[in-house]
Each structure stands twice: as C-alpha cells, then as structure tokens.
Amino acid sequence: MRYLIRISLALFLIIMPSLYLFYRYWIYNNPPTGPVGNGIMPISGSKLVFCIGLIVLGLSHLIFAIYQYRRSED
C-alpha cells in the first residue's frame, strides 16, 4: 500500500504541472479578448521553472518508488 501511494503521488507530480503547462499553452495560442480577458498573457519564467522542477521531481520520485517496490518484492 505504501508503494502505491508513492507511485500515485509521483504520477500526480508529473501529470498536474503538465496539464497546467498545456492549459497555459492553449490559452497563449487562443487569447480571450474583449470583456472576457485582457488578451495574451504569457507564462512567467518563475512559474515555468517551478512546473518543470515539479515534473523532474515527480520523475525522480517515480523511478525511486518503482526501484523500492521491486526491491521489496525480492
């Protein structure tokens, strides 16, 4: 059960920032105009670095969690 939680947390850390970056990319290419929005709003560098850092953290955590899961089965 512990390994399932670790693997699911790692997948969450990979999927959520990826979805956020995809959403921001879509908004950047289809900017809301008029009374709904202010036009193009690019993603800031700090948010981009944060999202990429979360994805890298999730990937490393996933590798480590799979390694520990396989090690515990032996």
Residue ranges covered by each domain of the chain: 2-73
Q: pLDDT-derived band of residue 72, with 50, 70 and 90 as boundaries?
A: confident
Per-residue pLDDT of 6-51, as tens digits, reads 889 999 999 999 999 998 888 888 767 667 666 677 778 888 899 9
Contacts of 74 (CB under 8 A, 6+ apart): none
DSSP assignment, residue 53?
Answer: H
**pTM of the full structure:** 0.77
Which residue, among 59, 45, 50, has the nearest Cα to 12 in the 3D structure?
A: 59
User: Which pLDDT score is estimated for 4?
Assistant: 87
